[in-house]
Structure 1
């Protein structure tokens, strides 16, 4: 929807609470609904209505569980990501785990959605898991029948990811059944995208080592872009998400022959 006028014009006449919500989000980049409801001592539903109005006016961007600055390339921090759509991510994790047979060799990428996959894999047997995520590795460590191989490398950022030549060297020696890849957004032609060049290089090597690659993303990623394309959409055999993609993106996936599995849709 095209918005007429500048932001100052659209903000004129907003209630005081909505102006303060905008100020908080512009200061922090992203704020959860829970944090806003506590800050203003109102219900979550009241905050949701405020966010819907502000999003409709083009003043902020709604996400699952909160709102952020209206920039499709906004990069959220790890703590903020943990608060977004946790139940949806758990459904995605369960759907991916259902695709993994006992005895498989699997690469787990970094990120909160992939961590949900790791939690869902804890009931598997004779599983061989390779990961550059300290968080994913710790979720599976010590589970009966699951061998966890954490790559070497340098710890990079708050998400516990490992990067560097040691990660690449380890994955280049692997022959994997499945690579589970986290993403930050999509290009217009459906290509999954991310922000961090070091992590993107690792994703590509893992995909090359795997017989099949699966992208995982909650529906909030459909409205977002990032900086760098990971690979063409068709290089992924499957996207597992929690809602149907918007029609234009869905058509792009069809053109690229990327299958989409909506977690929980069969229930």
Structure 2
């Protein structure tokens, strides 16, 4: 998309606009008529004609209210994600760990950012940690004063986390002071986006079993819709992100009443 200094989309010709629509659908996984019309400053009817043309050309697949890329958005492995936005994740992890008090029982999701939280919690003792993630188990396995509950189940090799009915059954027997959830994408209206329904169902259950819910997502994940499975979060919940997040990306969350915490690389909170 061509963006001017003020951050608004310049008017494009129909051919260039359609190319940008394909690029956006491929990047985010989904493109809605309303969002595309606002982005390109054209009418919804114009966007519908563009989508009809692109669908007829075999470049997009129509969905209710929009379109999606024909090639599924790829899910990256935990190993690939660990090096992404490393400094931002460390800052988020430091802030998150600082919220936990000795003696609490906390629930940690799978994922690279939440795995970083586990490293920061090694000195917050005594503590009880339940987790679905192998990275958390590795980080805390040798800390005697941290009691660790492994919520076993079916291992997802890409995410290095457990899912499925055995994991859910274990969760039903526990409650938690706090839960820290990771996300492939997060939006104010739909919640957490993940690659599979087994993941989103589990995250919803994790949130329901916890008194305080935190979603840890660096700036690049805000507003992203890479997949078609969603976890709806009970209110209230807190979004924790890094200081690279633009005000426009934070605005929908603030408008929806989500508590937003923006932190720097040292884990210090800033005004969103």
* TM-score, normalised via structure 2 length: 0.68
**In structure 2, what is the equivalent of residue 80 of structure 1?**
80
Provide the aligned C-alpha RMSD in A: 2.8
**In structure 2, what is the equivalent of residue 62 of structure 1?**
none
**In structure 1, what is the equivalent of residue 231 of structure 2?**
230
Q: Report how far residue 158 of structure 1 moved.
A: 3.2
| Stretch of structure 1 that moved more, 88-97 or 136-145 | 136-145
Q: Report how far residue 239 of structure 1 moved.
A: 1.1
Structure 1 segment 150-161 matched on structure 2, within 5 A: 150-161=150-161
Query: Alignment partner of 1:206: what SS?
Result: helix
Q: Report how far residue 72 of structure 1 moved.
A: 11
Structure 1: runs of 5+ lacking an equivalent: 11-25, 27-68
Q: Which one has the bigger helix percentage?
A: 1
Check 1:236–1:228 CA distance in 2 against 1; reply closer, same or farther (3 A cut).
farther
Deviations along 1:178-199, whole A, 9 cap, x unmatched?
0111011133636332222111
* TM-score, normalised via structure 1 length: 0.69
Q: Report how far residue 74 of structure 1 moved.
A: 4.8
Partners of 1:266 and 1:105 lie apart in 2 by 24
Deviations along 1:91-133, whole A, 9 cap, x unmatched?
1111000000111111100111111111111111011000111
Q: Report how far residue 229 of structure 1 moved.
A: 2.3
The answer as to whether partners of 1:108 and 1:133 remain within 8 angstroms in 2 is yes
Check 1:73–1:189 CA distance in 2 against 1; reply closer, same or farther (3 A cut).
farther
Partners of 2:84 and 2:72 lie apart in 1 by 16
**In structure 1, what is the equivalent of residue 260 of structure 2?**
260
Deviations along 1:20-42, whole A, 9 cap, x unmatched?
xxxxxx9xxxxxxxxxxxxxxxx
Structure 2: runs of 5+ lacking an equivalent: 4-8, 21-25, 27-68
**In structure 2, what is the equivalent of residue 43 of structure 1?**
none
The answer as to whether partners of 1:95 and 1:263 remain within 8 angstroms in 2 is yes
Aligned residue pair count: 208
The answer as to whether partners of 1:238 and 1:259 remain within 8 angstroms in 2 is yes
